């Protein structure tokens, strides 16, 4: 416990080594919108009688000292380094966080586990299912707490969907249709809005590897474990331009069309694409149809139609549409305040580390996501549907 000014809430300082903070996710979502946001709100209340707050103390790690210094100065931070080994050797550092490029993640995570640090990592946790399972096993053997980012289930739209499921709104859930994607510019006449490695298989890119881990935990947490996968992937845009304006061949898939069977019998079908233009209300939307009602959930919003209010259209292409179908749905109210999804998950993980509260979204859960991506790519390559075996250590 750190001493604080008289009258102020006692602070439990927690040092977090944050690797990859110069990257898009590491900087924006994890450092700024999660860890620094927690500090701006005065720390994370731990709920004890003394009013203790948990105070995250980030140590920025990366390869480029000047970039790290600039970030530290911008946010009034003092600790940054290019020496990962030195940070891992420091016993006062309790958590190692990793938002590196996926294909350089495993060695750093292994080192951190060996150094006895608790682990929190972006997804995919590894490049192969075998590697992901190995990480989960190593963390278990070392007795360190561990978590993998599963931010989408903490989004307001999906929390509302969960509320509907828990309240029995749907009756028996029949199917889930997911539509994810937007146009990612090629980079020639307009700058691409995602890093170029995403489009190179040799650098760990590809939409199956990127998005199937998300779909695994979304489906698993909301509807039930994925029991089979059938996928078709495509590289619709074969050439792109990188951060330096140089053309390169896109060697990774930029679109994936997946069908997933779920425990309990529902079928999910999810399209993922970086080469599709948005004609939806949100960048991702899931339609859930059940015997008693249906819902369409996005990042923030969720609309429902109960069976009692379901119209009875009759197919007749000779006549103009008689219903304004989209107007016949009802908005699900917020009924509360929603925080940033990344921050919400960080808070749960930090409490898990300090208070030993339950936490399900660990490296084993992360391995399930890598497994689904791997089987999805195999399904595409072989033109077959694959059973997804249950994962355990």
Cis upstream peptide for 337 (omega within 30°): no
25 binds ligand NAD (CB under 6 A): yes
Touching ligand NAD, residues 207-226 (CB under 6 A): 210
Closer residue to ligand NAD in complex, CB, 122/216: 122
- Asked if residue 151 lies in contact with residue 365, where contact means CB atoms within 8 angstroms, the answer is no
Residues whose CB falls within 8 Å of the CB of residue 11, separated by 6 or more in sequence, listed in order: 1, 2, 4, 43, 52, 53, 54, 55
Q: How far apart are CA 383 and CA 388, in angstroms?
A: 16
Provide the minimum distance between the beta carbon of 49 and ligand NAD in the complex, in angstroms, as a whole number: 36
Q: Does 195 participate in binding ligand NAD (rule CB under 6 A)?
A: yes
Residue 369 as a binder of ligand NAD (CB under 6 A): the answer is: no
To the nearest whole angstrom, how small is the minimum distance from the Cβ of residue 371 to ligand NAD? 16
Among 34, 52, 102, 146, binds ligand NAD (CB under 6 A): 102
Which one of residues 58, 62, 366, 376 is an interface residue with ligand NAD (CB under 6 A)? 62
* Positions of E strands within 134-265: 146-148, 173-181, 226-234, 239-241, 247-249, 255-262
Name the E strands within 47-106: 53-61, 80-81, 93-98
Cβ at position 111, least distance to ligand NAD in Å: 12
Which of 293, 261, 254, 297 lies closest to 276 in space, CA to CA? 254
Min dist CB 340 to ligand NAD, Å, is 12
151 contacts ligand NAD (rule: CB under 6 A) = yes
Nearer to ligand NAD, 21 or 144 (CB): 21
The least distance separating ligand NAD from the CB of residue 323, rounded to whole angstroms, comes to 36
Residue closer to ligand NAD (CB basis): 25 or 363: 25
Residue 186 binds to ligand NAD (criterion: CB under 6 A): no
Nearer to ligand NAD, 19 or 52 (CB): 19
Alpha-carbon radius of gyration of the chain: 22
| CA 39/CA 54 separation, integer angstroms | 9
Residue 252 CB burial class (10 angstroms; 0-12, 13-18, ≥19): buried
Interface segment toward ligand NAD; rule CB under 6 A; list 71-79, 95-103, 185-193, 248-256: 95-103
With respect to ligand NAD, which residue has the nearer C-beta, 73 or 243? 243
Q: Is the dihedral of CA 122, 128, 129, 132 positive or negative?
A: negative
* Structure tokens that stand for 296 in this block: 């369409």
182, 279 Cβ separation under 8 angstroms: no
Residue 374 touches ligand NAD, criterion: CB under 6 A: no
Q: What is the DSSP letter of 119?
A: E
Would you count residue 20 as binding ligand NAD (CB under 6 A)?
yes
Of the residues 10, 23, 131, 224, which one makes contact with ligand NAD according to CB under 6 A: 23
Binding site for ligand NAD (CB under 6 A): 20, 22-26, 62-63, 99-102, 104, 122-124, 149, 151, 195, 197, 210
């Amino acid at each position: 416990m750190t001493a604080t000014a008289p009258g102020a809430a006692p602070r439990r300082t927690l040092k977090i080594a944050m690797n990859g903070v110069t990257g898009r996710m590491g900087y924006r979502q994890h450092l700024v919108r999660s860890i620094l946001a927690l500090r701006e709100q005065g720390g994370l209340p731990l709920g004890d009688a003394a009013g203790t707050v948990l105070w995250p103390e980030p140590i920025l790690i990366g390869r480029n000292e000047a970039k790290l210094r600039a970030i530290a100065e911008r946010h009034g931070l003092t600790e940054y380094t290019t020496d990962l080994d030195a940070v891992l050797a420091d016993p006062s550092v309790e958590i190692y966080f990793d938002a590196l490029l996926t294909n350089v993640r495993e060695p750093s995570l292994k080192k951190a586990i060996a150094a006895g640090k608790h682990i929190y990592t972006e997804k995919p946790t590894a490049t192969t299912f075998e590697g992901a399972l190995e990480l989960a096993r190593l963390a278990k053997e070392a007795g360190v707490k561990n978590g993998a980012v599963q931010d989408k289930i903490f989004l307001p739209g999906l929390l509302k969907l969960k509320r509907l499921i828990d309240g029995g709104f749907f009756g028996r859930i029949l199917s889930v249709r997911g539509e994810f994607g937007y146009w990612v510019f090629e980079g020639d006449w307009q700058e691409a809005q995602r890093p170029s490695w995403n489009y190179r298989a040799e650098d760990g890119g590809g939409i199956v590897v990127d998005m199937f881990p998300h779909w695994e935990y979304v489906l698993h947490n909301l509807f039930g474990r994925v029991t089979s996968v059938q996928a078709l992937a495509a590289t619709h845009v074969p050439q792109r331009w990188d951060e330096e304006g140089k053309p390169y061949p896109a060697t990774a898939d930029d679109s994936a069309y997946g069908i997933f069977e779920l425990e309990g019998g529902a079928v999910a079908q999810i399209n993922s694409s970086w080469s599709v233009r948005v004609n939806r209300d949100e960048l991702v939307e899931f339609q859930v149809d059940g015997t008693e009602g249906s819902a369409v959930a996005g990042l923030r919003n969720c609309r429902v139609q109960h069976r009692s209010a379901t119209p009875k259209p009759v197919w007749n292409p000779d006549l103009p549409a008689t219903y304004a179908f989209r107007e016949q749905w009802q908005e699900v109210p917020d009924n509360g305040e929603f925080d940033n999804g990344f921050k919400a998950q960080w808070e749960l993980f930090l409490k898990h580390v300090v208070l030993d509260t339950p936490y399900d979204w660990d490296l084993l859960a992360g391995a399930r996501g890598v497994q689904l991506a791997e089987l999805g790519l195999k399904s595409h390559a072989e033109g077959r549907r694959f059973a997804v075996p249950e994962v355990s250590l």
